[in-house]
Amino acid sequence: MATPSKTPPGADPKQLERTGTVREIGSQAVWSLSSCKPGFGVDQLRDDNLETYWQSDGSQPHLVNIQFRRRTTVKMLCIYADYKSDESYTPSKISVRVGNNFHNLQEIRCFNVLRVPCCK
């Protein structure tokens, strides 16, 4: 999603899209996964249904590759993870890398994800 840099942390991306604050640009990209179990691939990752999801099926690292056809500025990346629903597949670390192709990616951000439920 593209957005101004003053988006508040924890803001609802769907609400921001409805108000015109951000624009979803994922459909302009080619998505691929390092692995997935049958029925748990890119379509489920991108379908806006919180009941469906990507489930990897291979050795780590598990990767989601998003390739735009031309140079694209991305100002916000939203990731939904639900530890309570499936703790074994909740990532502990997320690395964001950019580059001109898969072979020259450089990490620009790395996040440690809290793996504890926030609500009961």
Mean pLDDT along residues 56-83: 88
Angle of CA points 26, 28, 109, to nearest 5°:
45
Torsion over CA: 13, 22, 71, 29 (sign): positive
pTM: 0.77
pLDDT over 60 at 119, yes or no: no
pLDDT tens for each residue of 11-38: 788 888 888 888 889 999 999 999 999 9
| Domains located in the chain, CATH noted | 13-112 (2.60.120.260)
User: What average pLDDT does the chain have?
Assistant: 83
The Cα 11–Cα 40 span in angstroms is 27
- Strands 106-112, 29-33: pairing is unpaired
Query: Using CA atoms, how far apart are residues 114 and 78, in angstroms rounded to an integer?
Result: 16
